[in-house]
Amino acid sequence: MHTENERSGTAVKVTTNGMIVNIILTIFKFIAGILGNSAAMIADAIHSFSDFITDIVVIVGIKVAGKPADNNHHYGHGKIETLCAAFVGIVLFIIGVEIFLGGLSKILLVINGGKLEQPGMIALIAAVFSILTKEWLYRYTLNYANNLKSDAMVANAWHHRSDAFSSVGTMLGIGGAIVLGGKWAVLDPIAAVILSFFIFKVAFEITYKNTNELTEAAPAKDVIEDIQQIITSTDGVKDFHKLKTRRVGNNIATDVHIQVDMNLSLIEAHDICSEVEKRFREKYGNDSILYIHCEPYT
C-alpha cells in the first residue's frame, strides 16, 4: 500500500514524463505537417498540444489532492483529483467533437466535388511515430494509474490513446493519398469520424464516473459488499445498519452503526470498533475515512 506522498510523487513523475514526450511530439508533428503539406497532421499536432494542457491539469490536481487535511478541508483534498479527471473527460469529449466535425466537413467537401491535397511522406512517418509513441504512453500511464488507483491518471492515459486513435485516422488518410492517389485522401476524414465515436465512449465513461463521485455517489456494488463482509465477519459484531459509503478522491469514506452485545463493557465495545477499523484500513489503506457508531444489540 502506497503512502499519500509516495503515490503523489510517483503520479507526478509519470505524468511529467508524459508531458515531456507530448511537447516533443507536438513540435515534431507541427514541423511534419508544414513540410508535408498536411492539414490533418497539423490538426493532429493540435490534439497532442491538448494532451500537454491536460498533463498540467492532472499534475496540479494530483499534487493538491495529496495534501493532508487542514482547517478548511477536514476530509483532505482528494476531490480535486476527481475534479481533474472529470475535466479531462470533458476535454476528451470536446476533442471528439472537433475530430468528428473536421472529418465530416472534409467528407462533404469531396462529395461536393472538392479535392483534398496530397500530403508528403514526412507526414506519414510522423503519423506512424505518433501512433507508436502515444500507445506506449497510454500503456505506461495506465499501468501506474491502476497500481496507484488514480482516476485522474486513468483519464489522462485514455487521452493519450485518443491521440493515437486520431493518428490512426491521419495515417490511413495520408497513406491512402500517397499510395492510391489524391482522391483517396478522403480515407482520412472517414477514419477520423469513425474513431471519434470511440473517443466519445471513453469521454462519457470517464466524465460519468467522476461526476458521480463529485455528487457523493456510492462506490461499486462489489466494494459495498466487501465492506459489509468486513463488518459482519468481525468477532463481536451482532449486526449493523445505516451504512453509508462514498469516495473522497482515492480514498473510501464510510459511516456505519454497528450493534454489539448489550452486556459488554464500554472498553470491550470500543475494542470491537477498533478491530473493525483496523480490518477496514488493512483493506482500503490508512488514509481511508471510517466513522463507527456503536449501539447495543437487542
Least confident of 42-46, 112-116, 205-209: 42-46
The string of pLDDT tens digits covering residues 143-188 is 988 888 777 788 888 878 888 887 887 787 778 777 876 677 777 6
Q: What percent of the chain has pLDDT over 70?
A: 90
The lowest-confidence range among 15-19, 25-29, 115-119, 160-164 is 115-119
Q: Angle at CA 267, nearest 5°, toward 266 and 268?
A: 95
User: Final residue of a domain: which of 191, 214, 237?
Assistant: 214
pLDDT band, residue 27 (cuts 50/70/90) = very high
The mean of the pLDDT values for the chain is 81
Instruction: Specify the pLDDT at position 169.
Output: 77
Do residues 171 and 241 share a domain?
A: no
The CATH number assigned to the domain holding 51 equals 1.20.1510.10
Mean per-residue pLDDT for 200-217? 79
User: Please, what is the Cα angle at 51 between 18 and 153, to 5 degrees?
Assistant: 60
Q: Which domain holds residue 248?
A: 221-297
Give the whole-angstrom CA distance, residue 119 versus residue 32.
10
Mean predicted confidence (pLDDT) in 42-61? 74
Query: For position 249, what pLDDT does the model report?
Result: 65
> Confidence class of residue 251 from pLDDT cuts 50, 70 and 90?
confident
CA 82: distance to chain centroid?
A: 9
Q: Of the candidates 214, 231, 262, which is a domain's last residue?
A: 214
Which of 84, 85, 62, 74 lies closest to 4 in space, CA to CA?
Answer: 62
Which residue(s) pair with 294 in the sheet? Answer: 258
Q: How confident is the model at residue 75 (pLDDT cuts 50, 70, 90)?
A: low
User: Are residue 101 and residue 140 in the same domain, yes or no?
Assistant: yes
* Span 258-293, pLDDT tens digits: 899 988 999 999 999 999 889 888 888 777 788 889
Sign of dihedral through CA atoms 32, 35, 37, 43?
Answer: positive
Please, how many CA atoms are within 13 Å of residue 41, restricted to the half-sphere of its CB?
33
Tell whether 161 and 262 lie within a shared domain: no
Rounded average pLDDT over 51-76: 70
Q: Say yes or no: 154 and 52 in one domain.
A: yes
Q: End of a domain among 168, 186, 214?
A: 214
Give the span between the Cα atoms of 81 and 218, in whole angstroms.
17
Measure the CA–CA gap between 115 and 56, rounded to whole angstroms.
Answer: 38
d(CA 51, CA 159): 7
Locate 241 and state its grid cell: 445498519
Cα(191)–Cα(147) distance, integer angstroms: 33
How far out from the chain centre does Cα 184 lie? 35
